[in-house]
Amino acid sequence: MEEITNLLSDLQTVNEEAKSTHSTKILRGLRDRMDSDIVALLRKVRRVKTRLENLVQSNVNNRGRKSC
């Protein structure tokens, strides 16, 4: 989760930099950086989502079991 928070913070920083820049070369570089951060963020979020779904399914399965 900390990595996700860091990536979101980086995206916000790059967004602010893009607002204050007028050079097309710099904007392209910032856009590429944002794209790579978004791809990394989506990968991490999907991994977390899968783990949470597995945990929920495990909880559902365990609720159905009778205790000894």
Per residue in 17-50, pLDDT (tens digit) is: 999 989 999 999 999 999 999 999 999 999 999 9
Provide the 3-class DSSP secondary structure of residue 27: helix
Give the pLDDT mean for 56-67. Answer: 86
Indicate whether 64 pLDDT > 90.
no
Residues with Cβ within 8 Å of 17's Cβ and at least 6 positions away in sequence, in order, are 30
Give 51's pLDDT tier (boundaries 50, 70, 90): very high
pTM for this entry: 0.73
Indicate whether 65 pLDDT > 90.
no
